[in-house]
């Protein structure tokens, strides 16, 4: 019998298919469906510190608007006794998700301040999350800020959180780094138990009719996985850290590639948004079918088999690949 089990963040998972954050994870019923469909773990949507702060400031501003200005209308709203503006709703969601399913629940946090990262990480741990994914999404726009400074910020952040929580930490980052392997090593040293590659960079579009910058959100495709695949393959065995691929995992073959590159888990979102939660089962059975057809016994067997360390031509992951692609263009 084909063994799909893997390990991630110190836990044995029944298979490497993990659901990554999306609106689907906001509904406990959907999380149950994910477990039923074969998900090995679920990463919840992120708790955004900035959103909490902005909501708090906005509510205050609007409840205070016009207050104590006009004798007939000293206020404009009734004073409700609770606004649930802190992280309480998210923490409650963590608790409910934990109670609802048997698979590990990984919470996700996007902070803006050191204090916020630490405070919310602790609360998430107290709420019972099995692990915490630090979702670092940061676009450095200040020309005065160097790459080294940005990396330093990342490392300090992980160190700070590590110092305050005990649950395993995954760190999800983007790929815009000059020397990502080096940063990965530092993140590991700072306390990351896993690296989640990569955050997608949400690039806004321009509407030339309305002259407005418009946010875009397109679902990923398998092509996007290639970047992740490359970096997982490069990092595998170079660092003693779990690796997760997120972005572009759509098919059972994608998941298998992720494993062969060296990932511990393959995370899916867009595929489920497109095809429904039940599609997880198809991916899982597709993996088994392929492995059986190709006589693989286990994920452990294939994991990292095509990493940079294990392929015949390691340069394929480096300049060699670049040269080959260029020459193929030249030929056509």
Partner 1 sequence: MKRSMVTIDGNEAAARVAYQLSEVVAIYPITPSSPMGEWADEWAAARRTNLWGTVPTVVEMQSEGGAAGALHGALQCGALGTTFTASQGLLLMIPNMYKIAGELTPVVIHVAARSLAVQALSIFGDHSDVMATRQTGFAMLASCSVQEAQDLALVAHAATLEARVPFLHFFDGFRTSHEVDKIEALEPEDVRALLPDALVHQHRARALSPDRPFVRGTAQNPDVYFQGREASNSAYLACPGIVERVMDRFAAQVGRRYHLFDYHGAPNAERVVVLMGSGVGAAEEAVDALVAKGEKVGVLTVRLYRPFAADRLLAALPATVRALAVLDRTKEPGAGGEPLYLDVVAALAEDADGGAPRFARLPRVIGGRYGLSSKEFTPAMVKAVLDELAAKAPKRHFTVGITDDVTHTSLACDPAFTTEDKDTVRALFYGLGADGTVGANKNSIKIIGEGTPLWAQGFFVYDSKKSGSVTVSHLRFGPRPIRSTYLVSRATFVACHQFSFLERLDVLEAAEPGATFLLNAPHGPDQVWDHLPRAVQRQIIEKKLRFHVIDAIKVAEQAGLGRRINSVMQTCFFALSGVLPREEAITAIKDAIKKTYGRRGEQVVQMNFTAVDNTLEALHEVRVPAQAAGTIDRRPPVPAGAPDFVQRVTAEIIAGRGDLLPVSAFPLDGTYPSGTARWERRNIALEIPVWDEAICIQCGKCVLECPHAVIRAKVVEPARLEGAPSTFKSAPARWREFKDRRYMLQVSPEDCTGCGICVEACPVKNKTAVKLKAINMRPQEPLRDAEQANWDFFLALPDPDRAALSLGAVKDVQLLCPLFEFSGACAGCGETPYLKLLSQLFGDRTVVANATGCSSIYGGNLPTTPWTANADGRGPAWSNSLFEDNAEFGLGMRLALDQARAQARALLARLRDTLGNELVDGLLGADQATETGIAAQRARVAILTTRLKGVPGVEAAALLTGADALVDKLVWIVGGDGWAYDIGYGGLDHVLASGRNVNILVLDTEVYSNTGGQASKATPRGAVAKFAAGGRPAAKKDLGAMAMAYGNVYVAAVAMGADDAQTVKAFLEAAAHDGPSLIIAYSHCIAHGYDLVHGLDQQKAAVKSGYWPLYRYDPARAQGAMQLDAKAPSLPLTDFTNNETRYRMLVHADPAAAAKLAAEAQGDVDRRWKRYEHLAELGADAADTAGTAGATGAAGSAKEEGAP
The residues that touch partner 1, with contacts defined as CB under 8 A, are: 52-86, 89, 211-212
Give first-to-last CA distance, the chain, whole Å.
Answer: 46
Find the shortest distance in angstroms from Cβ 191 to partner 1. Answer: 26
Q: Quote the longest CA-to-CA distance of the chain.
A: 82
Nearer to partner 1 by Cβ, of 67 and 219: the residue is 67
Residues 6+ apart with CB under 8 A from 7: 13, 242, 264
Please report the beta strands in 32-100, taking only residues with DSSP state E, as ranges in sequence order.
41-48
What is the helix (H) or strand (E) element at residue 50, kind and residue range? helix 49-64
User: Of the two residues 71 and 143, which places its CB atom closer to partner 1 in the complex?
Assistant: 71
In this structure, what token pair is assigned to residue 278? 């039940």
How distant is the alpha carbon of residue 290 from its chain centre? 27
Q: How far is the CB of 65 from partner 1 (least distance, A)?
A: 6
The answer to whether the beta carbons of residues 93 and 30 sit under 8 Å apart is no
Q: Taking the complex as a whole, how short is the minimal distance between the CB of residue 63 and partner 1, in angstroms?
A: 6
For Cα atoms 18, 296, 5, give the angle at the middle one, nearest 5 degrees: 30
**SS3 label, residue 129:** coil
CB of 112 to partner 1, least distance (A): 11
Closest to partner 1 by CB, 84 vs 218, is 84
**3-class DSSP state of 286:** helix
> Of 70 and 329, which has the nearer Cβ to partner 1?
70
Closest approach of partner 1 to the CB of residue 213, in Å: 9
Nearer to partner 1, 62 or 237 (CB): 62
């Amino acid at each position: 019998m084909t063994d799909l089990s893997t390990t991630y963040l110190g836990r044995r998972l029944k298979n490497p298919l993990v659901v990554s954050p999306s609106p689907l994870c906001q509904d406990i019923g959907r999380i149950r469906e994910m477990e039923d469909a074969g998900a090995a773990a679920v990463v919840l949507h992120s708790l955004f510190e900035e959103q909490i702060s902005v909501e708090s400031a906005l509510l205050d501003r609007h409840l205070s608007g016009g207050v104590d200005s006009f004798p007939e209308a000293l206020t404009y709203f009734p004073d409700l006794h609770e606004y649930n503006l802190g992280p309480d709703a998210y923490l409650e969601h963590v608790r409910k998700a934990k109670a609802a399913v048997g698979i590990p629940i990984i919470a996700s946090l996007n902070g803006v301040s050191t204090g916020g990262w630490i405070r919310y990480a602790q609360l998430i741990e107290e709420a019972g999350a099995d692990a915490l994914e630090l979702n670092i999404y940061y676009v450095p726009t200040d020309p005065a800020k160097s790459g080294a400074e940005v990396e330093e910020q990342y490392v300090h952040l992980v160190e700070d959180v590590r110092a305050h929580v005990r649950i395993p930490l995954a760190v999800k980052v983007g790929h815009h780094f000059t020397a990502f392997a080096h940063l990965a090593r530092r993140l590991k040293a700072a306390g990351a138990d896993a690296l989640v590659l990569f955050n997608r960079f949400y690039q806004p579009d321009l509407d030339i009719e309305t002259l407005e910058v418009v946010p875009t959100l397109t679902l990923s495709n398998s092509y996007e996985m290639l970047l992740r695949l490359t970096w997982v393959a490069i990092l595998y065995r170079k660092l003693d850290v779990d690796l997760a691929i997120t972005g572009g995992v759509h098919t059972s073959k994608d998941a298998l590639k992720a494993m062969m590159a060296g990932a511990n888990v393959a995370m899916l979102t867009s595929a489920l948004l497109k095809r429904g939660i039940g599609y997880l089962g198809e991916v899982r059975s597709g993996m088994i079918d392929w492995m059986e057809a190709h006589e693989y016994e286990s994920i452990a067997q294939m994991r990292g088999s095509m990493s940079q360390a294990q392929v015949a031509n390691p340069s394929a992951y480096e300049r060699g690949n670049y040269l080959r692609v260029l020459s193929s263009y030249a030929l056509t």
